[in-house]
Amino acid sequence: MATPVRRIEKDFLLKVLFDEHLPVKFISDRSEYTLILEQSGKDAMAFRPDRPISKLKPKTEMDLHFNYKGQVIDFMVEISYIKDDLIFCNIPEMLYKDLDRNYLRVEAPSDIKILFTFRGDRYNLSLPKVMEFEDIEASEMLRNFDTRNLSGLIEQMKGSIIKYATGYKIVSFKDKSPDATEERIVSETGKALFIPSTLGYFPQTDPYPKKRLITEELFKRYLESTGVEVSHLDSACAHFIKLKYEEGFHSDAWIPILFHEYVVGYIHIWVDKEGKPPFDFSVLDSMYEFSKVLAFSLKENGYFERGKIQHEAFEGKVLDISASGLLFTYPHTTLSSTLLVDSELAVIITTPKRSVTAVAKIVRRFKDRSTGYFGCRFMNLAPEDTRFLFEYLYGKPMDDSEAMFLTGQV
């Protein structure tokens, strides 16, 4: 991820940019321009380009980059006005370093057309929904089960579960709405409620790269959303776990069954007898794998078939594009609600010279009142396609010597 520069370092870098007349790069309409910062004040700055830049006007933004001692610095400015060949603009709010995109982004050329299509199946289901995408086919355990035989699969899973739990149940939300506190928080977050010991506490941190635990902080936020006063959150958490102990539970875990962006149901396991060790993360890992296998089996047995949506190409508004990815927008609709992080799209990029077919993975998303914004990274783009996009977007041959400068974030 790009790292915002701290205020003191930002002031230093802008001073160096002015004092040393470091070249600033700007790419527009397949041409690269070099700008020099000639005026710098408290609230405004002015750049002089090496030659006139067409299509610039007040209120438009410029994505600028410069290299300071091998570190590429990225920042955005908005043009105030242009006078005497100087481009006057605001002082940037933020500067970014540690960029992780492969090539600089530029405004999408006017003669480019880009169509998107969902890869794989897509669904519209009457189930609880979360803002994450779960790839159930990524489980290595699938090869160990006959997923076509659902009842046999559950029996096979039972044989493994009873090795570390004294009880379990599997619940579907297809015919039952989340009711109990545990059901509601699991269905709303898509994360596991994991209490290794009812003599202890909620997990304080989540060690998984892709977060999957309901930590104490997350549980408190849920309680607060239900109307619990902030001053009572600590006691409410303690009371919740104490009740489980009084009911005879020693270890307790509720693991969501996730399919795409839907919470299909959950697997509840517990220990309520002496002699069984408390649950640990290896148990949780196994249960997550079981939940993936179970979701895949449900798919194989037609459980989600009625909710499958037909594939249709759609055209988003591409804000900027690079040789390694793009950023596009789409209005808030049922379709945009399924554009989640980790979703993959088939992309056809059509230019006057040729077309490029690519796979784009959504790596970030944000929104305003009416529109969703989706940052995508191209996956396994053929070298000849990368070279073509580079030369088409930047208007010059691809030169490996520029690799240091052409490094940044999708």
Tens digit of pLDDT at every position of the chain (410 positions): 567 888 899 999 999 999 999 999 988 877 889 999 999 988 899 999 999 988 888 988 888 889 888 788 888 899 999 998 899 999 998 888 765 555 677 788 888 899 999 988 889 999 999 988 888 876 677 777 888 888 888 998 898 999 999 999 999 998 889 999 999 999 999 999 999 999 999 999 999 998 999 999 999 999 999 999 999 999 999 999 999 999 999 999 999 999 999 999 999 999 999 889 999 999 999 999 999 999 999 999 999 999 998 888 999 888 888 888 998 999 988 888 889 988 999 999 999 989 999 999 998 898 888 889 998 999 988 889 988 998 888 887 876 544 444 433 44
**pLDDT for res 409:** 41
Structure tokens at 392: 């088409």
* CA–CA gap between residue 41 and residue 178 (Å, rounded): 58
Smallest Cα–Cα separation from 253: which of 203, 314, 296, 298? 203
* CA–CA gap between residue 48 and residue 88 (Å, rounded): 9
Sequence-ordered list of residues with C-beta below 8 angstroms from that of 189, at least 6 positions apart, any chain? 130, 214, 218, 222
Q: Which helix (H) or strand (E) is 283 found in, with range?
A: helix 281-300
Smallest Cα–Cα separation from 135: which of 265, 295, 268? 295
Structure tokens at 75: 């920042």
**pLDDT for res 99:** 59
Domain 130-307 indexed as CATH 3.40.50.620: no
- CA-angle at 61, arms to 56 and 64, nearest 5°: 100
- Whether 73 and 408 have beta carbons less than 8 Å apart is answered as no
Smallest Cα–Cα separation from 64: which of 32, 102, 16, 86? 32
Instruction: For domain 3-98, give the fold.
Output: Pnp Oxidase; Chain A (2.30.110)
pTM of the predicted model as reported, rounded to 2 decimal places: 0.71
**pLDDT for res 39:** 93
**pLDDT for res 394:** 82
- Whether 410 and 324 have beta carbons less than 8 Å apart is answered as yes
Domains 3-98 and 113-120+311-402 share a fold: no
Domain ranges of the chain: 3-98, 113-120+311-402, 130-307
Region for 401 from its dihedrals, namely left if φ exceeds 0, alpha if ψ lies in -120 to 50, beta otherwise: alpha
**pLDDT for res 247:** 96
Q: Which helix (H) or strand (E) is 314 found in, with range?
A: none
| Secondary structure (3-state) at 127 | coil
Superfamily of domain 113-120+311-402: predicted glycosyltransferase like domains (2.40.10.220)
- Whether 216 and 237 have beta carbons less than 8 Å apart is answered as yes
* CA–CA gap between residue 237 and residue 242 (Å, rounded): 9
**pLDDT for res 239:** 96
**pLDDT for res 408:** 39
